[in-house]
Amino acid sequence: MKKVGVLAVQGNFSLHQAALESAGVPASHILTVRTVEELGNVDRLIIPGGESTTVGLLLKRYGLGDAIQARAQGGMPLWGTCMGMILMAKAIEGRDQYSLNLLDITVKRNAFGAQVHSFEDEVQMTGVEPNLLGVFIRAPIVTEWGSAVEPMGWYQSKVVAVKQGKRIGTSFHPELTTDTRLHQYFLSL
């Protein structure tokens, strides 16, 4: 069985670990990733929610961002949730901040408002029935995407999930629900 990494620089990585276990991954095959060396021990990586400016600076400072880019360009499946999708984006509206540039998308940060405007609601996903419950916390939306990007999730006609090859981004937090369908989908890539 493949080893799944969860970036553990900052943010709520432990809930992704629990969701992966619920999706059938043995705990021994779920590794936290904080260094370039630890990244070398995994076959796929989840970048969880958190604070994109802070995590971006840390990834850049310690060379982990370059290592993630190299692994993704080499075919490693990658999934960014909320902050992770922001970090994977090619561009961030109104911001000049570090980005991994691994999804050909432009995102708008905090598109639904501040922390106090967090909410849960159904997300329409391509090929997923019934709809998923999306937990939106200072969530971004995708405002532009390139021809290689497939929009795969919508909330009120706004794109909140995308796929580009073996890379996916979701603006919501599936790890905060008991539904492991997106984790299982990521494991199938």
pTM higher than 0.85: yes
- Locate tokens 């603006």: which residue? 171
Catalytic residue IDs: 82, 173, 175
Q: What are the extents of the domains in the chain?
A: 4-188
Query: How far apart, in Å, are the Cα atoms of 156 and each of 9, 11, 112?
Result: 32, 27, 11
| Best CA proximity match to 102, nearest among 148, 60, 134 | 148
How many CA within 13 A on the CB side of residue 54? 7
Note the pLDDT of residue 103. Answer: 98
Note the pLDDT of residue 125. Answer: 93
Three-state secondary-structure class, residue 104: strand
Each residue's pLDDT tens digit, 29-86: 999 999 999 999 999 999 999 889 899 999 999 999 999 999 999 999 999 999 999 9
Query: Is the predicted pLDDT of residue 181 greater than 90, yes or no?
Result: yes
| Best CA proximity match to 171, nearest among 131, 122, 124, 111 | 111
Q: Candidates 3.40.50.880, 3.40.50.720, 3.90.180.10, 3.30.1330.60; correct CATH number of 4-188?
A: 3.40.50.880
